[in-house]
Amino acid sequence: MRAVINNTDVAAPLGSLDEWEDDVLDRYPEPDKAFRDYAAEVRPSVKEFYRLNHTYQTLDFVKAKKQQYCGLTLVEKSIWEAMDFLNTLVDDSDPDTDFTQIEHLMQTSEAIRRDGHPRWFILTGLVHDLGKVLCLYGEPQWAVVGDTFPTGCRYSDKVVFPEFFKLNPDFQFPEYQTELGIYEPGCGLDNVHLSFGHDEYLYHVAKDYLPEEALYMIRYHSFYAWHREGEYQHLLNDKDREMLKWVQAFNPYDLYSKTLVRPDVVGLRPYYEELIAEFFPEKIRW
């Protein structure tokens, strides 16, 4: 069965989840690529997506979604079953030019593999977006993808479309709008409620199986205000500062691995099945 995400749905302004990632790529182009005027090129669908994301991702919403999903009580599945499941997510993007979710995962992992990185790093590339199955559980796009940001404290103006935060009910709570908000200085990102999405969910799915560096890559890969803009320093602890280099090492593979060549998913499967089995048990909880 194919789950079609239809952009006539008011909660689904994006024609495809890739539209968010393509927009991130416009904001953070590969070094040496031609300069583009980001503000002039941003798509109306992406802008509407961020309006919804910034309006509805409140501290209470984040806590409720963690409660709902992060106890992993939904289902037991192997990694490959989850990849197949994620691939049933079809949006109204162009099937001839857009890659499937598995193809994006394999382009990322193959680029990491080509550069000779350790096996856990390659595996991280393969699984990093599996949290997008949240869309197939009925979550709206704005609760699954998008740059993540801390809730419960003042919003950085380095988060994309900061003007939309005025629409967030938390904006009216003075205690949430100080620099630290509800947090202690240097509390560490583990204690910060980032806006909810595929990063946080997959972190909980993978946390017993992958090394700490991999878990940072997974949990914070959409936190651009931190790993690209250097914001929220007052919330970091020593561990976060030490792990930042791994999150930054991962990001170019996620953003810049889309080539014109489709990965040979069938041919590569035996290699990846073996790699998955090295770290994960046959079935894991989702």
Q: Is 129 in the site for Fe ion (CB under 5 A)?
A: yes
Number of residues interacting with Fe ion: please give it, by CB under 5 A.
2
- Of the candidates 254, 257, 284, 286, which one interacts with Fe ion according to CB under 5 A? 254
| Contact indicator for 272, 202 with CB cutoff of 8 Å | no
- CB of residue 101 to Fe ion, shortest distance in Å: 9
- CB of residue 105 to Fe ion, shortest distance in Å: 7
Q: Which is nearer to Fe ion, 130 or 275 (CB)?
A: 130
Burial class of residue 59 (count of CB atoms within 10 Å of its CB; 0-12, 13-18, 19+): buried
Name the 3-class secondary structure at 90: strand
Q: Is 23 in the site for Fe ion (CB under 5 A)?
A: no
- CB of residue 221 to Fe ion, shortest distance in Å: 5
Q: Which stretch binds Fe ion (CB under 5 A): 50-58, 124-132, 242-250, 273-281?
A: 124-132
CA 211 to CA 224: how far, in whole Å? 22
| Contact indicator for 244, 227 with CB cutoff of 8 Å | yes
Q: Is 110 in the site for Fe ion (CB under 5 A)?
A: no
CA 147 to chain centre: 7
Q: Which is nearer to Fe ion, 135 or 153 (CB)?
A: 135
Residues in CB range of 194: below 8 A, 6 or more apart: 62, 148, 149, 150, 151, 200, 220, 223
Q: Is 147 in the site for Fe ion (CB under 5 A)?
A: no
Tokens standing for residue 4: 């079609």
Q: Which stretch binds Fe ion (CB under 5 A): 11-19, 70-78, 171-179, 254-262?
A: 254-262
| Contact indicator for 126, 105 with CB cutoff of 8 Å | yes
Q: Which stretch binds Fe ion (CB under 5 A): 83-91, 129-137, 187-195, 264-272?
A: 129-137
Q: Is 18 in the site for Fe ion (CB under 5 A)?
A: no
Q: Which stretch binds Fe ion (CB under 5 A): 22-30, 62-70, 127-135, 210-218?
A: 127-135
Locus of tokens 């509805």? 56
- CB of residue 148 to Fe ion, shortest distance in Å: 10
- CB of residue 186 to Fe ion, shortest distance in Å: 27
Q: Which is nearer to Fe ion, 168 or 222 (CB)?
A: 222
Category of 138 on φ-ψ map: left (φ > 0), alpha (ψ -120 to 50) or beta: left
Q: Is 19 in the site for Fe ion (CB under 5 A)?
A: no
By the criterion CB under 5 A, which residues form the site for Fe ion?
129, 254
